[in-house]
């Protein structure tokens, strides 16, 4: 059978590699040319690292010299918390990571098709369509030069979230997600916007921006867990469910859903079987993330930091992926 995959990002490439591991013919429909920058915090969680291993790309990943990260530092308005990671995570730009995975899929025998003519069976085309509500969020990122630090740092302020991640070659990625009205107040000038948080200002002061800001949005934090029961396509990655960026689990979710869909689709299993497994892995942690996000958005982040150890915040939102 031919496995047709719409989208050759992280999830689509993972699906392609996984289906090729089962000797299926694979068509990978991707419209962009790699490498390219992508808005992302660029933190590759320990789970994502394990999944890269399952796809046989550990050597290529480590060969790209990602920055090793042993802890996460979380900054609320007045408090900071450090979470030691059980296994190391890494910082690697999407410029490198996506290119690496897409190239690996092609090396494994997937055929790159720039435009799909036949109906794909795996949908890996990224986030769900645009949010039309008034409460829209936008994301942005840029790479900086300067002292990289030894941890991924997360800043929560004014219902905004900013992630500072040391990546390859001594660069640091700064990526944020903020509500439109807030960004509008600063004329969408991200440098001025970031200056409003004292903790973030101190972190950014020694750094120098190396590229123009890349923007994305509106961002919708949503999922297809409830509505895909009868669909015959396999939705993977952000097209299945968009992981709230603060969880740091988006790449792991994309890799695991892609890997699983590639395997099941190549074996001729039904999408209902796939969705059953996906719900067991992702539904609870994603619901927990929504609850935590609601607390953060209600302005109770400081309270949350006192009531909930930061390590629990991450373990509650981590997909239940088998090693
Ligand atoms: C602000 C922010 C910060 C984040 N930080 C992190 C983080 O630090 N760590 C983490 O693990 N996750 C993070 N994430 C989540 C992570 O970026 C996503 O979960 C991940 O990119 C999902 O990958 P994907 O392959 O599903 O989608 P994508 O990476 O969006 O790939 C979709 C692909 O499909 C292609 N495509 C779409 N439509 C078509 C079409 N019609 N024809 C052909 N090709 C098409 C696109 O060109 C694209 O290459 C963050 C997300 C945001 C928004």
85-103 pLDDT, tens digit each: 999 999 999 999 999 999 9
User: Cβ neighbours of residue 275 under 8 Å, at least 6 residues apart?
Assistant: 225, 228, 229
CATH number at residue 113: 3.50.50.60
Contact of 130 with 219, CB cutoff 8 Å: no
Residue 105 token pair: 């899929």
Please work out whether the CB of residue 254 comes within 6 Å of at least one atom of ligand 1.
Answer: yes
Confirm whether 113 is domain-assigned.
Answer: yes
For a ligand 1 pocket test, name from 90, 139, 238 the mutation site with the most ligand atoms within 8 angstroms of its C-beta. 238
What's the CA gap between 26 and 8, in Å, rounded?
A: 12
Condensed to tens digits (0 to 9), the pLDDT of residues 137-152 reads: 999 999 999 998 889 9
Confirm whether 256 is domain-assigned.
Answer: yes
pTM for this predicted structure: 0.96
Does residue 244 surpass a pLDDT of 70? Answer: yes
Confirm whether 184 is domain-assigned.
Answer: no
Confirm whether 57 is domain-assigned.
Answer: yes
- Total domains, the chain: 1
Condensed to tens digits (0 to 9), the pLDDT of residues 175-200 reads: 999 999 999 999 999 999 999 899 99
The percent of residues in the chain predicted with pLDDT above 90, rounded, is: 73
Please work out whether the CB of residue 123 comes within 6 Å of at least one atom of ligand 1.
Answer: no
- Ligand 1 centre to CA of 96 (Å) is 14
Closest CA to ligand 1's atom 5:
41
Output DSSP code: residue 119.
P
Condensed to tens digits (0 to 9), the pLDDT of residues 263-315 reads: 999 999 999 999 999 999 999 999 999 888 888 877 776 777 777 777 888 89
Cα separations in angstroms, 45 against 93, 155, 250, 253, 290: 13, 17, 9, 10, 19
Confirm whether 187 is domain-assigned.
Answer: no
Does residue 227 surpass a pLDDT of 70? Answer: no
Confirm whether 198 is domain-assigned.
Answer: no
Please work out whether the CB of residue 319 comes within 6 Å of at least one atom of ligand 1.
Answer: no
* Domain region containing 51: 2-131+219-316
- Ligand 1 centre to CA of 48 (Å) is 14
Please work out whether the CB of residue 27 comes within 6 Å of at least one atom of ligand 1.
Answer: no
Confirm whether 30 is domain-assigned.
Answer: yes
b/e sequence 4-28, b meaning 16+ C-beta within 10 Å? bbbbbbbbbbbbbbbbbbeebebbb
What's the CA gap between 13 and 5, in Å, rounded?
A: 9
Confirm whether 107 is domain-assigned.
Answer: yes
User: Cβ neighbours of residue 279 under 8 Å, at least 6 residues apart?
Assistant: 225
């Amino acid at each position: 059978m031919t496995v047709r995959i719409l989208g050759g990002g992280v999830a689509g490439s993972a699906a392609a590699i996984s289906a090729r591991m089962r000797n299926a013919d694979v068509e990978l429909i991707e419209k962009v040319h790699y490498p390219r920058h992508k808005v992302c915090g660029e933190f590759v969680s320990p789970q994502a690292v394990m999944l890269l291993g399952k796809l046989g790309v550990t050597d290529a990943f480590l060969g790209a010299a990602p920055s090793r990260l042993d802890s996460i530092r979380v900054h609320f308005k007045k408090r900071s918390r450090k979470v030691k990671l059980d296994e190391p995570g890494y910082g690697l730009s999407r410029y490198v990571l996506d290119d690496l995975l897409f190239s690996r899929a092609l090396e494994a025998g997937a055929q790159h098709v720039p435009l799909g003519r036949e109906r794909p069976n795996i949908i890996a085309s990224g986030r769900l369509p645009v949010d039309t509500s008034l409460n829209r969020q936008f994301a942005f990122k840029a790479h900086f030069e300067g002292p990289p630090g030894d941890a991924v740092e997360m800043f929560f302020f004014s219902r905004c979230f900013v992630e500072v991640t040391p990546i390859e070659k001594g660069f640091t990625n700064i990526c944020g997600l903020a509500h439109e009205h807030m960004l509008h107040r600063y004329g969408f000038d991200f440098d001025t916007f970031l200056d409003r948080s004292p903790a973030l200002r101190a972190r950014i002061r020694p750094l120098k921006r190396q590229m123009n800001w890349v923007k994305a949005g509106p961002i919708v934090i949503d999922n297809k867990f409830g509505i895909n029961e009868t669909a015959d396509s396999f939705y993977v990655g952000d097209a299945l469910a968009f992981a709230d960026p603060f969880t740091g689990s988006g790449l792991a979710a994309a890799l695991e859903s892609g890997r699983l869909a590639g395997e099941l689709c190549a074996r001729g299993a039904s999408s209902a079987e796939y969705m059953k497994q996906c719900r067991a892995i992702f539904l609870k942690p994603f619901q927990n993330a929504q609850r935590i996000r609601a607390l953060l958005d209600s302005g109770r982040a400081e309270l949350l930091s006192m009531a909930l150890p930061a390590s629990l915040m991450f373990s509650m939102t981590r997909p239940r992926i088998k090693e």
